[in-house]
Structure 1
Amino acid sequence: MENTSGKAPKASFAAMAHPAYRLQFISYVFAMMADNIEHVISYWYVFQKFHSPALGGFAVLSHWLPFLLFSVTVGGLADRFDPRRIIQCGMALFIFASAGWAFLFVTDLLTVWNAMFLLVVHGCAGVLWQTPNQLLLYDIAGPQHLQSAVRLNAMARYLGVLVGPAVGGMIMLALGPSKGIILNTIFYLPMFVWLFWAPPRAIVVVTRQAVRGLADIVQTIRSISTSRVLTSMTLLAGLTSLLVGNAYSAQMPGYADDLGHGDPGLLYSLLLAADAAGALLAGIVLEGLGTVRSTPRLAMLLAGLWSLALIGFALAGSFAVAVSLLFIAGFCELSFNTMAQTLVQLNAPAENRGKVIGLYNMAGLGMRAFSGVSVGLIGAWIGIHWSLGFAALAVLLVLGGLHFFTRHHAVVSGRL
């Protein structure tokens, strides 16, 4: 029987009761901050050297495409091998990328081709980190406190998004890009070192399934097709990422320019901060309440509210209204994404949990590589406000179809 309501523990911030989780959380914040610092410094240096919009577009693709191509494969590896060691491989690649940037900055040997290589390395490091880390959360917090662990890690991600760029900018101003990127390698070390002492799996499921690339993706899709929870939450993650994702963040300078008459850099920063601040508040409120249940219906409802907030933002003519709506969008986005992820983890079969979570990440993160088409490329034709509004409206329509699908599947299965 499917777990359609991930029951949250009554205690606030329940996952923090586990000492191992507290250490994981701290190291995760440092690693996420380092990830964003590297983006700030490397993107700035690359832009100053090449002034290439095409290379900027490649940076976005190289960040998300590895999730689309390799998430299920990495999940299969995490089913067979210790996820702690796979995460350490990801941290090692992050360190290699930062050290590589530093070497090329100092020697002035940076070319378009080796910049593309390091961007790909950085993207692959993210895949080796995120899916195994979600398995690690299950091992540390267990099913009872899993929702709290997922939500707190999402908060840590947004903390990195908020703090990373600011710290990266200060480091670059104080030390310069070369020394700053060298310093950044240190921030990956807490996660790498802690994993040597992280607790192993409480329950080890022996699996000898081979890792088969595309065949694994097809097999995993078939395996979840009988589960309305796994299917609906994976579709929710994939469709929202495909149609909107975080593509509007890349267009934020344009929105800031259209919305205000002040310093566009300040307005841009405030818009980005509003989205992240809303997400942080969502984590704090939901963790503080400690009684909110994760259900497919609530996740889809919050995704609908997220879409409505983005439609309002796209149509807003006032900067204050736009900031408020982005704050609401951030609140709803963290809420529905963490609920969906929790439900996937709770309902994933133990013998191939890594592949199922990998498929969810392939949908939720990998599909972001294409959201730039619906918001960015179409925005160049009809305007970024209209493109975002239509994309968010498409999400609403898709959610209606997804809700009908889940109800119909439940009726056919005799669950309603």
Structure 2
Amino acid sequence: MSSAPWFFARTFRAFRYRDFRLMWMGACASTIGTFVQQFAQSWLVYDLTRDPFYLGLDLFLGQLPIMMFSLFGGVFADRLDRRKMLLTSQYIQMVCAFLLALLFLVHAVKVWHILVLSFIVGIGQSFGGPAYSALLPTLVGPEDLANAIAMNSIQFNIARIVGPTIGGLAYATLGATWCFALNGVSFLAVIASLFMIDVKFIPSKSTESVLTSMKEGIRFIWHRDGMTALVVLAFCTTLFGFSLNGFLPVFVRNVFQKGPETYTLLLVFSGAGSICGALAVAASEKLKGLGRLTLLILIALGLITSGFALSKWLPLSYTLMFLAGATIMASASLMLSLAQLITTNAMRGRVMSVYNLAFRAGIPVGALAFGKLIPMFGVSKTLAGAGLALVAVSLYFLLVKRNVTFQAAPT
């Protein structure tokens, strides 16, 4: 008897749950639209300014509200209807996408328009992110939580392949306006799925102030073994390991001296690698030893990032982008699974908002810092140094802080 049916049943076991399937399909369609817009937006920002600082500033402003408001979003995710929070977030992002499409349609768009709308989208995500992170584990059984997180990573990375491909085609044949309009339409899918699922979580009544609830969540993280280490690793991973994708247009134009087709191919290779990394996590079933495995994968990611930064040969760079995508997604999925398993349902919104804040904060901090460093030292040296910094942090937790454990919380 072939082992293939058994492998697929184990790897895709979260799809047994109806509500998870609905959310997965809606989120996938919406994320594809987001990547269609990101393709056009990154290329246009650099094309309009020819300054990597503005690329970094756009990423920074998109993530800044998450740094400012996601802790409040986590408190509200434990107190309010998570479905309504998510719907509000989707409405905000959809309106911004259509507004940007309109600005391009009437030839009125300026760089500052893009920057302001990135900030407003970030506000929507700062409240929608904690609600989604808290809602996802309630759609599956606890034994399938890690698999559901990996499947969620897979939909994200399917979008990373499909989105830039559609974005490249739409940008070349129809123009930037259609890239933003397609993103706006894509939000209808996740909005429809939110109306169809059965949300079982009922928020408990609380008389505590928002700040008191926030402090309670931070206290839980501080005293929960392994959680602080995960928060630090999440920040360092995105600070040093995710910066590569944000500055790909600089590599394409300055190092390889190519056009948007090469940029698209690099994103596709990265997305394909990410799917493979997420599938590998989805197929695994054991929690024991995942902390050490995560650190080893992060070391590999740092070395791959440095290798890509120094590469001048496109075939090698495509291969390294594939490997970077695989290690990024495998490490991110494993860290998120461990964080979800360590926390409790009553604290999930607050704890995951802190974790997500750390994870997301590394992106704008890195974007802004490296956007300043690249003109001084060059894009290759700057991002090679970022990769080595990630290796150093991972080795510290692997060899020095060896007593950190990751034990699941009682449900």
Range with greater deviation from structure 2 (310-319 or 333-342): 310-319
Letter in 2 for 1:310: T
Q: Is the Cα contact below 8 Å between 1:232 and 1:406 reproduced in 2? A: no
Q: Is the Cα contact below 8 Å between 2:36 and 2:164 reproduced in 1? A: yes
The equivalent position to 1:279 in structure 2, one of 274, 279, 286, is 274
Letter in 2 for 1:248: L
Distance (Å, rounded) in 2 between the aligned partners of 1:175 and 1:270: 19
Q: Is the Cα contact below 8 Å between 1:229 and 1:296 reproduced in 2? A: no
SS across alignment from 2:226: helix
Distance (Å, rounded) in 2 between the aligned partners of 1:393 and 1:328: 16
Aligned ranges 1:89-238 → 2 under 5 Å: 89-111=88-110, 113-178=112-177, 181-201=180-200, 205-212=204-211, 219-238=216-235
Q: CA deviation at 1:344?
A: 0.8
How many residues in Structure 1 have an aligned counterpart in Structure 2?
Answer: 398
SS across alignment from 1:248: helix
- In 2 relative to 1, CA 409–42 (structure 1 residues): closer, same or farther, beyond 3 Å? closer
The equivalent position to 2:364 in structure 1, one of 369, 387, 410, is 369
Distance (Å, rounded) in 2 between the aligned partners of 1:258 and 1:104: 29
Distance (Å, rounded) in 1 between the aligned partners of 2:111 and 2:377: 31
Distance (Å, rounded) in 2 between the aligned partners of 1:112 and 1:385: 26
Residue in 1 aligned with 2:285? 291
Residue in 2 aligned with 1:251? 247
Distance (Å, rounded) in 2 between the aligned partners of 1:31 and 1:70: 22
Distance (Å, rounded) in 2 between the aligned partners of 1:179 and 1:253: 21
Letter in 2 for 1:332: T
Does residue 349 (structure 1) correspond to residue 349 (structure 2)? The answer is no
Q: CA deviation at 1:188?
A: 0.5
Letter in 1 for 2:248: M
Distance (Å, rounded) in 2 between the aligned partners of 1:91 and 1:378: 35
Q: CA deviation at 1:56?
A: 3.9
CA shift digits 1:211-247 (9 cap, x unpaired): 23xx7665533321122221111111012222x1422
Q: CA deviation at 1:274?
A: 2.2
Q: CA deviation at 1:103?
A: 3.3
Residue in 1 aligned with 2:301? 306
The equivalent position to 1:340 in structure 2, one of 335, 343, 362, is 335
Distance (Å, rounded) in 2 between the aligned partners of 1:291 and 1:201: 26
- In 2 relative to 1, CA 296–370 (structure 1 residues): closer, same or farther, beyond 3 Å? same
Q: CA deviation at 1:158?
A: 1.7
Letter in 2 for 1:255: F
Q: Is the Cα contact below 8 Å between 2:81 and 2:202 reproduced in 1? A: no
Distance (Å, rounded) in 2 between the aligned partners of 1:226 and 1:273: 41
Letter in 2 for 1:210: S
Range with greater deviation from structure 2 (123-132 or 249-258): 249-258
Distance (Å, rounded) in 1 between the aligned partners of 2:327 and 2:43: 31
- In 2 relative to 1, CA 18–400 (structure 1 residues): closer, same or farther, beyond 3 Å? same
Distance (Å, rounded) in 1 between the aligned partners of 2:195 and 2:275: 30
Distance (Å, rounded) in 2 between the aligned partners of 1:222 and 1:260: 48
Distance (Å, rounded) in 2 between the aligned partners of 1:271 and 1:321: 11
- In 2 relative to 1, CA 9–341 (structure 1 residues): closer, same or farther, beyond 3 Å? farther
Q: CA deviation at 1:85?
A: 0.9
Q: CA deviation at 1:389?
A: 2.0
Distance (Å, rounded) in 2 between the aligned partners of 1:308 and 1:332: 11
Range with greater deviation from structure 2 (72-81 or 296-305): 296-305
CA shift digits 1:93-121 (9 cap, x unpaired): 01110222233334444455544332221
Q: CA deviation at 1:259?
A: 6.0
Q: What is the percent sequence identity of the aligned residues?
A: 23
Q: Is the Cα contact below 8 Å between 1:374 and 1:387 reproduced in 2? A: no
Mark the runs of 5 or more structure 1 residues left unpaired by the alignment.
Answer: 1-7, 411-416
Distance (Å, rounded) in 1 between the aligned partners of 2:306 and 2:110: 40
Q: Is the Cα contact below 8 Å between 2:165 and 2:264 reproduced in 1? A: no
Mark the runs of 5 or more structure 2 residues left unpaired by the alignment.
Answer: 1-6, 406-411
* TM-score normalized with structure 2 length: 0.86
Residue in 1 aligned with 2:24? 25
Distance (Å, rounded) in 2 between the aligned partners of 1:314 and 1:44: 19
Q: CA deviation at 1:191?
A: 0.8
Q: CA deviation at 1:28?
A: 0.6
CA shift digits 1:241-288 (9 cap, x unpaired): 22x142222332443457657x4544433333222211111123333x
Q: Is the Cα contact below 8 Å between 1:259 and 1:318 reproduced in 2? A: no
CA shift digits 1:126-184 (9 cap, x unpaired): 22332211212101013211111111111111222222222233334554444553343
* TM-score normalized with structure 1 length: 0.85
Residue in 1 aligned with 2:34? 35
SS across alignment from 1:134: helix
Does residue 397 (structure 1) correspond to residue 396 (structure 2)? The answer is no
Distance (Å, rounded) in 2 between the aligned partners of 1:140 and 1:122: 26
Distance (Å, rounded) in 2 between the aligned partners of 1:51 and 1:395: 28
Q: CA deviation at 1:195?
A: 0.9
SS across alignment from 1:407: coil
